[in-house]
């Protein structure tokens, strides 16, 4: 039973906002605006960003990084809409948990600890801030998995815990100077939040179930497709974070005029290189970036083959034909955008659309998994 008659509407609103946060975040990252606000959660010490000459002059005197207004507004606006999404998830968690014992106390108590941790972090009391966040996360997770009641409180509470981690990853993205492992994790965290919200929205929507006797055969194919897509998204995030999207130049299907140029996989997939290195622009040499790009291309073939087979299977399944068409069209568009990014030298609009295409594919797979049930 839904915890509130408008719960599913709020969940779908959160899904739409999550799409905006993810796509606009990709736009920020691809337009090299990820470090345009050198502090967090403020931007040059302001809740918005420096706009007037006096504000810009004061910011330039206080911070080492010069103000670029046309980039700073993008980064700070992205933070604001992400914070709004966090408040919406908090509302969902409160609605879902309010009928459980200590439900509201857990949701609002843990959120209060996180809220207190933010000014402590800004005051450079990092250990105390981290302890408060860790206690809040443990509180939420214990509450979420303590009960086996068939309600929405577990899923909504876990989603709140995930979005708190996502906020921390956003903070580390700035303070650790675009560290590739953090940037990739931030992307995966955003898409995990989106997937949880889609699942929550479908499960709470009345009459959303698709009951089929062959669901037991379709679900494993969907799970495999979701896993493969997740790996490909992670590789795409790693490619972007290491500035390897054009490691092969504008050659496709070859790379630098060869089918298999010189590569350095060991150097290309070092996840941790320490803290303090500025990764803006990338630090890897050519062969390491080529290895990353070639891995992304090879994985794309595997994902394409499986999802194409799945789309054809859905197309032949009565009642699921439209989902098959949607998956096939989204898959073809995503492949075209990926090739176009290479051939045309990574246009900003096309690279951003490529990220949006991954969101669409994820939505289709998660939606089918959430809705398909045995007859």
- Tens of pLDDT, residues 240-263: 999 999 999 999 999 999 999 999
Given a cut of 90, whether residue 280 has pLDDT beyond it is no
Euclidean distance between CA atoms 110 and 93, whole angstroms: 11
3-class secondary structure for 124-160? CCHHHHHHHHHHHHHHHHHHHHHCCCCCCHHHHHHHH
Global pTM reads 0.94
Bond before 41 cis per omega within 30 degrees: yes
How confident is the model at residue 1, as a pLDDT? 62
> Rounded to the nearest 5 degrees, what angle is found at the Cα of 225, between the Cα atoms of 221 and 228?
140
Average pLDDT, the chain: 93
- The reply to whether omega before 253 is within 30° of 0 (cis) is yes
The CA angle 69-73-78, to the nearest 5 degrees, is 155
In what helix (H) or strand (E) does residue 212 lie, and over which residues does it extend? strand 210-212
**Average pLDDT rounded to a whole number, residues 309-333:** 95
Determine the pLDDT at residue 2: 67
Q: How many Cβ atoms from other residues are within 10 Å of residue 54's Cβ?
A: 9
pLDDT at 375: 76
> Which is more confident, 9 or 215?
9
Rounded to an integer, what distance in angstroms lies between the CA atom of residue 272 and that of residue 280? 16
Highest mean pLDDT among 60-74, 148-162, 203-217: 60-74
CA angle 332, 220, 302 (to 5 degrees): 40
Q: Please say whether the beta carbons of 190 and 21 come within 8 A.
A: yes
Mind telling me the catalytic residues?
Answer: 75
């Amino acid at each position: 039973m839904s915890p509130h008659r408008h719960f599913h509407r709020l969940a779908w609103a959160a899904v739409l906002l999550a799409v905006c946060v993810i796509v606009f975040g990709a736009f920020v990252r691809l337009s090299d605006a990820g470090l345009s606000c050198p502090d967090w959660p403020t931007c040059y010490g302001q809740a918005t960003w420096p706009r007037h000459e006096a504000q810009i002059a004061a910011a330039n005197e206080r911070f080492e990084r010069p103000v670029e207004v046309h980039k700073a507004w993008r980064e700070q606006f992205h933070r604001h809409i992400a914070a709004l999404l966090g408040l919406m998830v908090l509302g969902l968690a409160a609605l879902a948990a309010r009928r459980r014992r200590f439900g509201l106390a857990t949701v609002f108590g843990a959120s209060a600890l996180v809220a207190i941790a933010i000014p402590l972090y800004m005051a450079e009391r990092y250990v105390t801030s981290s302890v408060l966040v860790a206690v809040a996360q443990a509180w939420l997770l214990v509450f979420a998995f303590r009960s086996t009641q068939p309600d929405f409180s577990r899923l909504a509470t876990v989603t709140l815990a995930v979005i708190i981690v996502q906020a921390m990853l956003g903070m580390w993205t700035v303070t650790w100077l675009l560290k590739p492992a953090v940037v990739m994790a931030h992307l995966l965290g955003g898409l995990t939040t989106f997937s949880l919200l889609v699942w929550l929205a479908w499960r709470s929507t009345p009459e959303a179930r698709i009951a089929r006797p062959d669901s037991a055969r379709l679900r494993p194919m969907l799970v495999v497709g979701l896993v493969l897509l997740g790996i490909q998204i992670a590789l795409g995030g790693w490619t972007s974070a290491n500035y390897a999207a054009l490691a092969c130049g504008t050659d496709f299907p070859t790379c630098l005029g060869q089918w298999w140029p010189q590569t350095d996989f060991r150097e290309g997939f070092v996840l941790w290189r320490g803290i303090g290195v500025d990764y803006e622009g990338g630090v890897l040499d050519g062969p390491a970036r080529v290895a990353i790009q070639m891995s992304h291309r090879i994985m794309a073939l595997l994902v394409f083959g499986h999802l194409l087979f799945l789309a054809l299977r859905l197309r032949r399944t009565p009642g699921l034909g439209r989902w098959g068409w949607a998956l096939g069209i989204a898959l073809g568009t995503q492949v075209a955008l990926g090739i176009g990014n290479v051939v045309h030298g990574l246009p900003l609009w096309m690279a951003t659309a490529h990220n949006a295409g991954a969101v669409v594919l994820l939505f289709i797979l998660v939606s089918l998994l959430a809705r398909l049930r045995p007859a």
